[in-house]
Amino acid sequence: MDEEQTATAIRSREIPRYNLREARARGLVAAVLHEIGPCIDEGQMREVHHRLIELFFHKGVEVLTDHDRELAGLPPRDQDGWTADELRIHEARKLELLLRPLTVTIPA
């Protein structure tokens, strides 16, 4: 099977693809439930599990750790969660607002 046939087979679902989004969501749900599980009534565990799956898988909420950022080649964040580039952009916007001339409108 050549590259084009493989791509076509994957798109048409002839070859099942590993669902990375689902795997990450399930891992995140497991980690959260491991930590907070003892605080949840046993009768509520199924509902909490379903809501977390809905949040992390179906709604696409993800947690990007510092390790994930490093593996992806993204710049590190500071203690407040900002990258150096994000700080420069944020500070430039604040400075622009501070330096913008004030327009005062006096009603006649």
**pTM of the entire predicted model:** 0.54
* Residue 60 neighbours by CB under 8 Å, 6+ apart: 21
- Averaged pLDDT, 8-26: 75
Of 79, 50, 77, residue with least CA distance to 64: 77
pLDDT category, 13, cuts 50, 70, 90?
Answer: low
